[in-house]
Amino acid sequence: MSEPRLSILMYHQVGDFAPMRAHRANYCDRRRFSAQMALLARLGYRVIGLDEALAGLRGERALAPRSVVLTFDDGYRNFVDHALPVLARHGFPATVYVISDWVGRRAEWFAKDPGRPVPELMDAAALREVHAAGITIGSHTANHVKLGECPPARQAEELGTSRARLEDLLGAPVQHLCYPFGSFDHHTPGLAAAAGYRSATTCLRGAATRADHPLALPRKAISFGDDLLGFWWKVAVKHAPKPDLVSWRARLAGE
């Protein structure tokens, strides 16, 4: 049997946006998103949640050859307006990673780029709404920090605080994590495990396989510029790991 390869797709905002040259991986046009989800359905892809993905990557259950996981970073309000109805139409699960101490605020880190619109993040009511609709809520730390630039004690605080506050908000376990900006170091996976997380996604590029540590999973970024052919190519063809992923796989092997 061939090694299972899983496409974990990374989205941020979904909506209507003016053309841009920078930060294109932070945006997906709502019409393209709808077409992308329709294509997955038409081509027979199996869209699964992270729990099923982890079981497949551990070899505990069969992972369908055309398996895809959908993830959305930061918890933007436009997810409710533009992504959630499309996911509901197809019955697709997804995970939204939320910055616990920024719930109901705006993505103020955008303001460092002059002229770049600063979007709203979901408030508590919206998060409860999407959670009730079957969307998994994961942690994106407490304050959207670059964990790889923080000492271990600060990392542990960010990870533990975020999980506890999101669980209080939702009244449900929070077991999945995403490292903001894709930043982590050799301490981070162990600290994430100690904080109670079962998975963590990164910005390392490639398909996820059984060679990956569950707390350092690679993803494929879906960008503003991806037309339907480009989207299909990323999902169906672009599996090879980038050098950084190869390096981290070697470092984390056996842990």
pLDDT digits (tens, 9 = 90+) for 72-97: 999 999 999 999 999 999 999 999 99
What is the overall mean pLDDT for the chain? 96
Beta bridge pairs of residue 7 = 68
What's the pLDDT score for residue 255? 74
Interacting residues of 209 by C-beta distance below 8 A, sequence separation 6+:
3, 4, 5, 6, 57
Query: Which tokens belong to 245?
Result: 């992923």
Q: Enumerate residue ranges in the chain where pLDDT < 70.
A: 1-2
CA proximity to 22, closest of 224, 251, 163: 224
Residues pairing with 76 in the sheet? 121
pLDDT for the residue numbered 20: 83
pLDDT tens per residue, range 213-239? 999 999 999 999 899 999 999 999 999
Provide the pLDDT for residue 2.
63
Amino acid at 78: N
Residue with tokens 């809520």: 137
Gap between the Cα atoms of 154 and 240, Å rounded: 34
223-to-19, 22, 28, 156, 234 alpha-carbon distances in Å: 12, 11, 6, 31, 11
